[in-house]
Chain A
């Protein structure tokens, strides 16, 4: 009798169930969102960068993309002679020298 009474008291009310159902889609939406989502041009192009190993003579062009609404950080992209594109670490002093050297050439 007392055990049945306790369980009867713990039974959730219909209002509480409805509230849980309302929150469930929000939880699913949050968990399903992933960092890999891309909106075409409206996202960062560079996922990771390299700090060394690229020589000036292999670079056919350098592109500097300014930070903006599409991407919070500036991006430095080198196009090599073999057609590949590589993101460079803009903090590396080496590439600041590379840009300066290219502009002075």
Chain B
């Protein structure tokens, strides 16, 4: 019984690790910073959604992660005035 349980546990852990690698996307509750560098020049029309992560024990800096319409993700500079404008425009519901 115990060896079988151990095998099941190992299989479960392996599956978890595999699924983690397969997704390739940053996990929301990851306990570290997700943005190594930020990029500028992203236009609002290319952004599908925006995720704002406040600073905390996991990361000392605020992070803004944009999901583009082509599925890719990009980190934006939270201090850039453009980011504030992008958020406000998205909330207003300006089409396209």
Q: When the two chains form the complex, which single residue of B49, B53, B56 contacts A64, counting CB atoms closer than 8 Å?
A: B49
- Bound Cα distance A79, B29 (Å): 10
In the assembled complex, which residues on chain B have CB atoms less than 8 Å from the CB atom of A74? Answer: 90-93
Chain A positions within 8 Å of B83 at CB level? 103
Encode B26-63 as 1/0 by CB contact (under 8 A) with A: 00110000000000000000011111111110000010
Query: Total number of A-B contacts with CB less than 8 angstroms?
Result: 68
The one of A96, A104, A105 in contact with B91, judged by C-beta atoms closer than 8 angstroms, is A96
Task: Tell me if A64 and B93 are in contact (CB < 8 A).
Answer: no
Expressed in whole angstroms, the minimum distance between the Cβ of B94 and any Cβ of chain A is 8
Give Cα distance in the complex from A41 to B44, angstroms: 21
Q: How far is the CB of B30 from chain A (nearest CB, A)?
A: 11
Number of chain A residues whose Cβ lies closer than 8 Å to a Cβ of chain B: 23
**Is there contact, CB below 8 Å, between B64 and A103?**
yes
B28 touches A64 (CB 8 A): no
B91:A63 contact, CB within 8 angstroms: no
A59 vs B52: C-alpha distance when bound (angstroms)? 10
B84 lies within 8 A of A61 (CB): no
For B28, give its contact among A56, A79, A99, A105 (CB under 8 Å). A79
Nearest CB in chain B to that of A66: its residue:
B90
24 interchain pairs, CB-CB under 8 A: A61-B54, A62-B52, A62-B54, A63-B50, A64-B49, A64-B50, A64-B52, A64-B90, A65-B48, A65-B49, A66-B47, A66-B50, A74-B91, A74-B92, A74-B93, A76-B91, A79-B28, A90-B91, A99-B87, A102-B52, A103-B64, A103-B78, A103-B84, A104-B79
